[in-house]
A and B are shown apart, each in its own frame.
Chain A
Amino acid sequence: MAHDKHFTNQEFKVVGTRVPRPDGVDKVTGRARYGADAFAPGQLVGAILRSPHAHAKIRKIDASKAEKLKGVKAVVTSADLPDLTNGRRDMLDILENCMARGRALYDGHAVAAVAAIDAETARKALKLIKVDYEVLPHVTDVDEAMKPGAPIVQPWVRTAGVDPAPTKASNVSQISTFGHGDVEAGFAEAHVIVERSYKTEQTHQGYIEPHACLASVNPDGTGELWVTTQGHFVFRNVCASLLGMEVAKLKVTSSEIGGGFGGKTHVWIEPVALALSRKANRPVKLVMTRDEVFRATGPTCSTSVDVKIGATRDGIITAATATLRYQDGAFPAIWGMLGAMTSFACYDLKNVKSVGYDVLVNRPKVAAYRAPSAPMAAFGVESTIDQLAAEIGMDPVEFRIKNAAKEGTRASYGPTYGPIGIGPTLQAAKNHPHMKAPLGRNQGRGMACGFWFNFGGQTCVDLNIGVDGTVNLTVGTVDVGGSRASMALIAAEELGIPYERVRCNVADTVSLGHNDMTEGSRGTFSSGMATVFAARNAIEVLRERAARTWDIDVSKVEWQDGKAVAMGSEHSNLSSLSIEELAAASPNTGGPIAGHNEVVADGAGVSFATHICDVEVDPETGKTRVIRYTVIQDAGKAIHPDYVEGQFQGGAAQGIGWALNEEYVYGDDGRLQNPGFLDYRIPVCSDLPFIDTQILEIPNPNHPYGVRGVGETSIVPPLAAIANAVSNAVGVRMTHIPMSPPRILKAIKAHRAESEAAA
């Protein structure tokens, strides 16, 4: 997209105001319908049988008893989901993750499914399915999986990114290298070098709504799917392809979505529900239990990261390297690559190299989780930066300011930055009263920076003007957290009408062109951009109608504050025509008035944040409490500040949970020990303080309003910010996330023992 001068530094009328969201009343009255809230005539209840083994060959599945149980209408296995992927390995992986094909690859992998007249019958039927497993050796730890002799998760995988191409199977699916300069020469110039290894455990997005869908496939090859998803158009394409349906014949409706954070960008149960419905010829509702959500859907990676950074005594980084090992679960992915790309993105570095390893283990397929891969890389890098600052005796904020990337910096992952916000967020942190507030006993302060790319992608918007001049804005990006309000604000701004006159709806797949997922913080950026253009498109039509009404040339008609105005002294007798008047007359001036836009929204501006955190640690128990937290982030332009703040706060809260207590605990048997909210400990209300926010607006030159995505970056700094704070509070460097009380207490004790031995 070209730089849109028209809107740079523009004064906005409604954009930037805190209006009530259009779906608010539905959501506070219980009327909003989520994934599990739909019903269809004659619907059946679906349920999935899952592997209790981390790795096993499936010798045989005997479902005959289940099929004979009264009330059971269909049983499906991988035999009912034949491979139609035509050699596309990525699609076959999706299919295999939805239903095991001869091998169970992780605890919780689906092996069979039933549809029955009620939940009780479905439950009984699952118990009647006999699966003959041959248990195979498994591996769940990322470092173990890379060792020679480790059990091979996917025998067909050969490590990509290695020359010459290997011939033997490996758990390393890909090695990705980024950087520039000469790191060896850079380290030689350094006065101080800090080198350290870090680990992070696997966490889950933890959306409160489990995956749920209602599938209905007819014998004529048509079908419908009601589903909680971050992208119903993509779900449609994937499901149609896997089931051999025609794209246009599968209507997918996105329900209200009860949280996704990346976890609802992948299909899990949907192809299975469709297969059950097709076999039973009845609608099938399939809802995951919380246990299934944890065992079988999108956690993020656990990681093992080495970072080495060198600097001169006056605080200039001379070289930086990182080796990042990310486990992708049982299917190849790009999470290690993204970790390598994001690791040093905040800094202006002459010599830098990062190497990412994507590693397979017997755990569920990893899905995106809010700025996927960046928090773990930032944990290693930002922790090392803090230690380096301490070693050279420089304030950690000052040290970062000295080395921060700026406009024109060549990023470690390749591109050269335009105007960016890392410097301004650091300056704001430096000046923030939080930085100067006194600390008490057992308290520590930490800060850290974070980066996320942000994405754009395919987007499509319709804007229809009703006969009374009110506007229906139809978008195809799922509203995950208030974006309908933001879209309506943008349409109102362009059209020059009150916000209340615009109604924004999310269309199903038969009512609008393709839209990519709501992911990569792209919702407000992309649909916002398409909304601007659709509104301008409608304004063209409105001007033409006015010109026709007045019988003057359209070039003499301007659109001002929701009205068509005839320009020039010769038309001074013509009083302006409002959108209401033009809409009312539309049947006689050419019919309905609408605007459209289809766009690949390029130019999502990169996003940076700086977080400050104070903690208090009980030295006798290792328990940490976050007592103050501040988020400073560049939003480009905050369309609806409440929901921008909400994204900042929510990302910080998830990061706090990850840093302190959330983790997947696997037993020696490769089974997940804590698949529930009791023992997978996400922050509760009393765990957190108010989370202060500061929105900076450094306009993205590629967006008409300067918007940058804001949804993801806020989860990147917390791991490191809290680790730095805890380390400062207890006087021991913490290198393993989560910093659970047993880990902190152990570190304190080890440090005490070391100090005593030294003395």
Chain B
Amino acid sequence: MSGILVATTVNGDAVEFVCQPRETLLEVLRNRLGLTGAKEGCGTGDCGACSVTVDGALVCSCLVLGAEVEGRAVDTVEGLAEGDQLHPLQSQFIKHAALQCGICTPGFLVAAKALLDRNPDPSEEEIRYALAGNLCRCTGYDKIVRAVDAAAKDLRKQGRKA
């Protein structure tokens, strides 16, 4: 077993790491790069707590090998805020009490951003189906759906992309 050198971009920064062939992107982010925002809830792609984007595509980082992201761009919850400004999704999650325990929150934020990137004005049904890959056991999703809807409105008002 020998390590693989991987050069990639994480939240806009050039990053190099060495990982074992079996290691997942989630393990690399958490254990090698100190980015523990993505969580492991299941390790099988069923809960979405480890959601990140790779070249803009929403994925479960537990189902991506670290070696696969050579030359790609990885974005995580840690890169969501711009400088000292929280992203509207982040602000609305706090305002709407859209989190209780908060373990699923990073995954929801990344997934919701991916949704608003491609659909700036989603219906309630579109929000619900787009977030079906993110499990939350605390909230019953009610306040999460409302927070995403409110953030979408904010973004449209500001005329900016998610």
A and B touching (Cβ–Cβ under 8 A): yes
Interface, chain A (partner B; CB < 8 A): 18, 20-21, 23-25, 27-34, 36-37, 119-120, 205-210, 256-261, 287, 289-290, 480-482, 642-643, 645-647, 649-650, 652-654, 676-678, 682-686, 688, 690-691
Q: Which of A208, A210, A259, A643 has the most CB of B within 10 A?
A: A208
A688 to B132, CA, bound (A): 10
Pick the contact of B143 from A23, A649, A652 — CB < 8 Å?
Answer: A649
A259 / chain B contacts, CB cutoff of 8 Å? 100-101, 103, 137-138
With contacts A208-B103, A480-B101 known, is A653 near B140, CB below 8 A? yes
Pick the contact of B36 from A37, A206, A481 — CB < 8 Å?
Answer: A37
Please provide the chain B residues from 39 to 77 with a CB less than 8 Å away from any CB of chain A in the complex.
39-44, 46-47, 49, 76-77
Proximity string of chain B (93-105) to chain A, C-beta cutoff 8 Å, 1 when within and 0 when not: 1111101111111
State how many angstroms separate the Cβ of B119 from the closest Cβ of chain A: 15
B10 within 8 A of A: no
3 cross-chain pairs, A with B, having the tightest CB-CB distances, nearest first: A30-B37, A258-B103, A653-B140
State how many angstroms separate the Cβ of B155 from the closest Cβ of chain A: 16
B136 / chain A contacts, CB cutoff of 8 Å? 208, 685
> Would A482 and B100 count as touching, CB distance under 8 A?
yes
Q: Which of A20, A258, A261, A685 has the most CB of B within 10 A?
A: A685
With contacts A120-B20, A258-B101, A682-B135 known, is A688 near B42, CB below 8 A? no
Which of chain B's residues has its CB closest to A654's CB? Answer: B137
Pick the contact of B103 from A21, A34, A647 — CB < 8 Å?
Answer: A34
With contacts A28-B105, A649-B139, A650-B140 known, is A643 near B100, CB below 8 A? yes
B116 within 8 A of A: no
Please provide the chain B residues from 87 to 132 with a CB less than 8 Å away from any CB of chain A in the complex.
89-90, 93-97, 99-106, 109, 125, 127-129, 131-132
B140 / chain A contacts, CB cutoff of 8 Å? 649-650, 652-653, 683, 688, 691
B156 / chain A contacts, CB cutoff of 8 Å? none
A691 / chain B contacts, CB cutoff of 8 Å? 140, 142
What are 12 sample pairs from A and B whose C-beta atoms fall under 8 A apart?
A28-B90, A29-B81, A33-B36, A34-B103, A36-B40, A120-B22, A208-B103, A208-B137, A289-B43, A290-B42, A683-B140, A685-B145
B27 / chain A contacts, CB cutoff of 8 Å? 119
* Interface bin, chain B: 35 or more
With contacts A33-B36, A643-B97 known, is A690 near B106, CB below 8 A? no
State how many angstroms separate the Cβ of B114 from the closest Cβ of chain A: 14
A664 to B15, CA, bound (A): 43
A688 / chain B contacts, CB cutoff of 8 Å? 128, 140-142
A258 / chain B contacts, CB cutoff of 8 Å? 39, 41, 101-104
A595 to B127, CA, bound (A): 47
> Would B128 and A685 count as touching, CB distance under 8 A?
yes
A37 / chain B contacts, CB cutoff of 8 Å? 30, 36
> Would B39 and A34 count as touching, CB distance under 8 A?
yes
State how many angstroms separate the Cβ of A189 from the closest Cβ of chain B: 42
Q: Main SS of the interface on chain A?
A: loop
> Would B86 and A27 count as touching, CB distance under 8 A?
no
> Would B100 and A650 count as touching, CB distance under 8 A?
yes
A642 / chain B contacts, CB cutoff of 8 Å? 96-97, 143
Pick the contact of A686 from B76, B103, B129 — CB < 8 Å?
Answer: B129
With contacts A29-B78, A650-B139 known, is A20 near B94, CB below 8 A? yes
B47 / chain A contacts, CB cutoff of 8 Å? 208, 290, 677
State how many angstroms separate the Cβ of B22 from the closest Cβ of chain A: 7
Pick the contact of A646 from B38, B80, B97 — CB < 8 Å?
Answer: B97
B139 / chain A contacts, CB cutoff of 8 Å? 646, 649-650, 653
B8 within 8 A of A: no
With contacts A30-B106, A684-B132 known, is A24 near B137, CB below 8 A? no
> Would B94 and A686 count as touching, CB distance under 8 A?
no
B35 within 8 A of A: yes
Interface, chain B (partner A; CB < 8 A): 1, 20, 22, 27, 30, 35-44, 46-47, 49, 76-78, 80-81, 86, 89-90, 93-97, 99-106, 109, 125, 127-129, 131-145
A205 to B144, CA, bound (A): 20
B44 / chain A contacts, CB cutoff of 8 Å? 290, 676-678
A210 to B142, CA, bound (A): 23
B141 / chain A contacts, CB cutoff of 8 Å? 653, 683, 685, 688
A650 to B142, CA, bound (A): 9
State how many angstroms separate the Cβ of B90 from the closest Cβ of chain A: 4
With contacts A259-B137, A684-B135, A685-B141 known, is A28 near B97, CB below 8 A? no
Pick the contact of A29 from B37, B49, B97, B127 — CB < 8 Å?
Answer: B37
Pick the contact of A685 from B1, B49, B93, B132 — CB < 8 Å?
Answer: B132
A205 to B101, CA, bound (A): 14
B102 / chain A contacts, CB cutoff of 8 Å? 23, 27-28, 32, 256, 258
Which of chain A's residues has its CB closest to B107's CB? Answer: A208
Which of chain A's residues has its CB closest to B77's CB? Answer: A30
A20 / chain B contacts, CB cutoff of 8 Å? 94-95
> Would B143 and A677 count as touching, CB distance under 8 A?
no
State how many angstroms separate the Cβ of A346 from the closest Cβ of chain B: 23
> Would A290 and B41 count as touching, CB distance under 8 A?
yes
State how many angstroms separate the Cβ of A712 from the closest Cβ of chain B: 13
> Would B137 and A206 count as touching, CB distance under 8 A?
yes
A206 / chain B contacts, CB cutoff of 8 Å? 137
A663 to B98, CA, bound (A): 27
A33 to B27, CA, bound (A): 16
A598 to B83, CA, bound (A): 43
> Would A21 and B97 count as touching, CB distance under 8 A?
yes
With contacts A29-B37, A30-B77, A290-B43 known, is A207 near B137, CB below 8 A? yes
> Would B145 and A481 count as touching, CB distance under 8 A?
no
B76 / chain A contacts, CB cutoff of 8 Å? 30
A18 / chain B contacts, CB cutoff of 8 Å? 97
A642 to B40, CA, bound (A): 27
B129 / chain A contacts, CB cutoff of 8 Å? 685-686
Pick the contact of B142 from A29, A649, A686 — CB < 8 Å?
Answer: A649
A647 to B137, CA, bound (A): 11
A534 to B128, CA, bound (A): 44
State how many angstroms separate the Cβ of A48 from the closest Cβ of chain B: 15
Which of chain B's residues has its CB closest to A629's CB? Answer: B140
Which of chain B's residues has its CB closest to A257's CB? Answer: B101
A458 to B103, CA, bound (A): 28
Which of chain B's residues has its CB closest to A205's CB? Answer: B137
State how many angstroms separate the Cβ of A19 from the closest Cβ of chain B: 10
With contacts A677-B46, A677-B47 known, is A690 near B86, CB below 8 A? no
State how many angstroms separate the Cβ of A488 from the closest Cβ of chain B: 14
B135 / chain A contacts, CB cutoff of 8 Å? 208, 677, 682, 684
With contacts A30-B77, A642-B143 known, is A677 near B42, CB below 8 A? yes
With contacts A29-B37, A29-B81 known, is A261 near B100, CB below 8 A? no
> Would A480 and B99 count as touching, CB distance under 8 A?
no
With contacts A36-B40, A650-B100 known, is A27 near B105, CB below 8 A? yes
